[in-house]
């Protein structure tokens, strides 16, 4: 395929011989787990990033946004920085039991100390990345939603006698939107995630095939996947992967209210002397406005707003890899962004 070609999800499933009856059924992305050596330092950063503390023990801290998720980020104490995996909510306890039978999986663990409770199983993908699966969490009460701005357009100016006024401070996090990984064996990883779970591609990024017999032959090197919920519209991607020479987590991304919120949050983080990675800009795939930062430990984290929604009828896109495929506007992409 060349250019921005399209393929239906059903045709792709048939091509890849996807057996839906054997899959662990995901509902949504729940939270991220990281190990940090200094809980005080990372806690200050997460507060400045726009999360608020839910619960703290001697060796764990749970952070949430204003969605109904009981938490979106778990900090666990450890001697070194370590990625402990993203967590997905599954449809049933039977899905946890199915996962627990997989090679290398943990036993089903009761999350007695975590806000909202529930149970968890952790499995590991072919490159050793942990994938946490949770069921039975009690949802929290949704926090106060920010007001939607009223815009005055060229020939439509509904905001009469009212003004836009803002307060400085962190960009309040709503929910966890997606996370991603750099992987070595891209095809094996894509097969694992799309066969094990109801994850399907929204877009693939392509490069010329190194052994191509014609210019039309391409190699897939980027995967943007969403949770297949049938007719229900879901985020353009909850999970992504890009081919690399070494395996590592890339970033986790958290939704904020709107563009102004992002810019206010960007300036707040800059004022606090945190290190910006890339942003603010507008992505192509997913369309969201992005802003990437380094946390004090060295993990990349993102604010995003205004992302696309897709469902089973949204065709899969195939397009060229490269900086022009990642941003419509914004600063130039750092050369090491995907390293």
What band does 211 get if pLDDT is binned at 50, 70 and 90? confident
Q: Measuring CA to CA, which residue among 99, 118, 115 is closest to residue 107?
A: 99
Per-residue pLDDT of 122-140, as tens digits, reads: 999 999 999 999 999 999 9
**Does 157 map to a domain?**
no
- Rounded Cα distance between 181 and 129, Å, is 9
C-beta separation of 156 from 80 below 8 A: no
- Rounded Cα distance between 118 and 41, Å, is 29
User: Picking from 114-118, 210-214, 281-285, which range would have the lowest pLDDT averaged per residue?
Assistant: 210-214
- Rounded Cα distance between 121 and 24, Å, is 12
Give the per-residue pLDDT at 137: 98
Give the per-residue pLDDT at 4: 60
Q: Measuring CA to CA, which residue among 32, 18, 326, 336 is closest to residue 176?
A: 32
Does residue 213 have a pLDDT over 80? no
CB contact set of 273 (below 8 Å; sequence gap of 6+): none
Per-residue pLDDT of 269-304, as tens digits, reads: 999 999 999 999 999 999 999 999 999 999 999 999
Q: What percentage of the chain has pLDDT greater than the value 90?
A: 92
**Does 161 map to a domain?**
no
Q: What is the mean pLDDT of the chain?
A: 95
The enclosing domain of 97 has a CATH number of: 3.10.180.10
**Does 339 map to a domain?**
no
Helices (H), ranges, 204-272: 259-271
Give the per-residue pLDDT at 1: 41
Helices and strands per DSSP (H, E), number in the chain: 5, 21
**Does 163 map to a domain?**
no
Give the per-residue pLDDT at 325: 83
Per-residue pLDDT of 59-89, as tens digits, reads: 999 999 999 999 999 999 999 999 999 999 9
Does residue 2 have a pLDDT over 50? no
User: Picking from 171-180, 257-266, 318-327, which range would have the lowest pLDDT averaged per residue?
Assistant: 318-327
Give the per-residue pLDDT at 218: 86
Query: Could you list the residue range(s) of the whole structural domain that residue 53 is in?
Result: 5-138+173-329
**Does 160 map to a domain?**
no
- Rounded Cα distance between 212 and 158, Å, is 56
- Rounded Cα distance between 283 and 235, Å, is 14
Per-residue pLDDT of 23-71, as tens digits, reads: 999 999 999 999 999 999 999 999 999 999 999 999 999 999 999 999 9
**Does 315 map to a domain?**
yes
DSSP 8-state code for residue 338: T
Q: How many domains, in total, are found in the chain?
A: 1
Give the per-residue pLDDT at 25: 98
**Does 324 map to a domain?**
yes
């Amino acid at each position: 395929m060349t250019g921005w070609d399209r393929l239906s999800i059903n045709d792709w499933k048939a091509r890849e011989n996807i057996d839906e009856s054997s899959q662990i059924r995901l509902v949504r992305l729940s939270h991220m787990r990281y190990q940090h050596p200094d809980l005080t330092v990372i806690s200050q950063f997460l507060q400045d990033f726009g999360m608020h503390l839910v619960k703290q023990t001697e060796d764990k801290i749970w952070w949430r946004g204003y969605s109904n998720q009981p938490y979106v980020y778990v900090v666990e104490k450890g001697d070194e920085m370590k990625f402990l995996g993203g967590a997905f909510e599954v449809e049933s306890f039977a899905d946890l039991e199915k996962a627990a039978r997989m090679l290398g999986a943990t036993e089903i663990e009761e999350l007695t100390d975590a806000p909202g409770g529930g149970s968890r199983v952790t499995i590991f993908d072919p490159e050793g990345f942990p994938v946490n699966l949770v069921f039975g969490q009690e949802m929290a009460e949704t926090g106060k939603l920010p007001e939607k701005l009223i815009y005055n357009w060229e020939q439509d100016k509904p905001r009469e006698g009212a003004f836009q006024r803002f307060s400085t401070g962190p960009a309040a996090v709503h929910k966890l939107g997606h996370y991603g990984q750099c992987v070595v064996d891209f095809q094996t990883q894509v097969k694992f995630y799309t066969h094990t779970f109801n994850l399907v591609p929204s877009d693939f990024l392509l490069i010329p095939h190194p052994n191509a017999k014609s210019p039309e032959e391409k190699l897939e090197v980027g995967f943007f996947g969403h949770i297949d919920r049938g007719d229900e519209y879901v985020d353009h991607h909850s999970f992504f992967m890009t081919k690399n020479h070494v395996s590592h987590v890339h970033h986790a991304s958290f939704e904020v209210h709107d563009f102004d919120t992002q810019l206010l949050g960007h300036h707040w983080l800059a004022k606090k002397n945190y290190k910006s990675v890339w942003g603010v800009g507008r992505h192509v795939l997913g369309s969201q406005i992005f802003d990437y930062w380094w946390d004090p430990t060295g993990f990349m984290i993102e604010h995003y707003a205004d992302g696309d929604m897709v469902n089973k009828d949204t065709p899969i896109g195939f397009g060229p890899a490269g900086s022009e495929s990642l941003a419509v506007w914004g600063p130039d992409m750092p050369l090491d962004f995907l390293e």
